[in-house]
Amino acid sequence: MPNAYQQLTHRFQRLSRFAHLGAIAGWDMQAMMPPKGAAARGEALAELRLLRHQLLTEPVVGDWIAEAKTLPLSSSEQANLHEITRQYTLATVLPGNLVEAQSLAGSRCEHAWRTLRASNDWASFEPLLKEVVSLAREEATLRAEATGVSRYDALLNLYEPGMNSAKLDTLFGSVKTWLPDLIQEIMARQARYPLVTPQGPFSTSLQRETGLDVMKVLGFDFEAGRLDISAHPFCGGVPDDVRITTRYSEDDLFSALFGVIHETGHARYEQNLPREWRGQPVAEARSMGIHESQSLFFEMQVGRHPLFLKQLRTLVLQHFPQQPALEEDNFIAWNHRVTPGLIRVDADEVTYPAHVILRYEIERALVEGNIEVGDIPDLWNEKMQASLGLSTQNNYRDGCMQDIHWTDGSFGYFPTYTLGAMYAAQFMATIRQKMDTDEIIHTGDLTPVFNWLNSNIWNKGSLLATDELVKQATGESLNPDHFRQHLITRYL
């Protein structure tokens, strides 16, 4: 008879296979499914989510966990048992009917959002979001009561274990003291050098070919993944079948291209999680902050590096004719522009934290019950004016309706973007101490950099807690000074 630990690994292998099906069906829902399939797909995904919840929360799983803790396990097995226990504890807090209701409400809201955002229709979107928020508050209350933390922190813990709003307030509070002046200083400096605007149209098919070329340079495994189109760029699927998406505009050459670079960072992480532990919780990504660190490492630390931009320009010119905007100096400067804008995913890396902090402050107040859904548009406009000097009055499409995250109740996710930017800067600072990154990027062969990421981040999965992972990789806990210094060095 298998012992209790082996029973657990078998159960989680089954759960992983069901999650695999859900991930591919979820990708299909956003990238391929015809509109009339939405209701039936939402019901199917809700049924699958409920089945996984039932398998995870059966009382026998708790019995196995208790017995497994008495067994002589290796350090890796102990780490896996820790993650099994964490997932079990998180799941048993929620009743099955809430899990199902959240899945159905999220599917309805997300599907409607695709068309309602395009038509700037907040009035029709608001009641759908209210339902999602109501269920998220119910979840947050149950989790908070079980763990003794605030409602928002209980949801934040789902995406970034070990983080809380007190730490975020310190980190983001510091950023808010220096970011506005830095933005103004960089913009004043850049204003002295007028730029030539790229002139479209830029064919979608040629943009796609350019993106595929860049993915090859960045080491994406095309036998274990693919690139498609969706309303909002994302990385989905599973490690052996990673699905990344982008969205194209024939007026903008770079939005989709850097979206592809960003999602390729996510994909490389997924494709290189510890294969020997596949199907177990310890083989999953450590946290969304670490996940975002990889996408932002690719997009910002490497992708916006002047020497990489030179190579990117060469790839672009293989598909698009030369024009003044694509001259080397202008190409690099254009991709280093710091300009406050309305859209988070198109933001430069200097103004990006302002977008994240705005969302963090709103979603925290929303989950805690300090504001209601109807307050979001005016609060969004107020915070955009204060942080970036821009108005979103009556412009819901480019304001509070622009992101997909809240449509399925992913409250607590947004802070991980700026945490990821901080981790990415810290990882690059460490890599620079170990190798000549400028020369490596100049050669076009990024293998040494990827090898470091694989050894220190990707292949660790969830074997270590986030803080321990970062300390082992860099010699210190998260240090936001690396991020600030990166911005100063690159832009000033």
Q: Which residues contact 72 (CB under 8 A, 6 or more apart)?
A: none
Q: Which residues contact 75 (CB under 8 A, 6 or more apart)?
A: none
Cis peptide before 201 (omega within 30 of 0): yes
Is 292 annotated as contributing to ligand binding?
A: yes
Label each residue of 203-245 as H, E or C: CHHHHHHHHHHHHHHCCCCHHHEEEEECCCCCEEEECCEEEEE
**How many CB atoms are located within 10 Å of the residue 199 CB?**
12
Cβ–Cβ < 8 Å for 46, 107: yes
Cβ–Cβ < 8 Å for 298, 262: yes
The CA distance from 194 to 105, in Å, is: 48
The CA distance from 324 to 336, in Å, is: 17
CA dihedral angle for residue 76, residue 475, residue 266, residue 484, rounded to 10 degrees: 160
Is 355 annotated as contributing to ligand binding?
A: no
Tokens 């270590």: give the residue. 464
Which segments within 308-441 are labelled E, that is strand?
Answer: none
Whether 67 sits among the annotated catalytic residues: the reply is no
Is 262 annotated as contributing to ligand binding?
A: yes
Say which of 110, 160, 263, 361 is annotated catalytic: 263
* Binding site feature residues: 262, 266, 292
Question: Catalytic residue numbers?
Answer: 263
Binding site for Zn(2+), residues?
A: 262, 266, 292
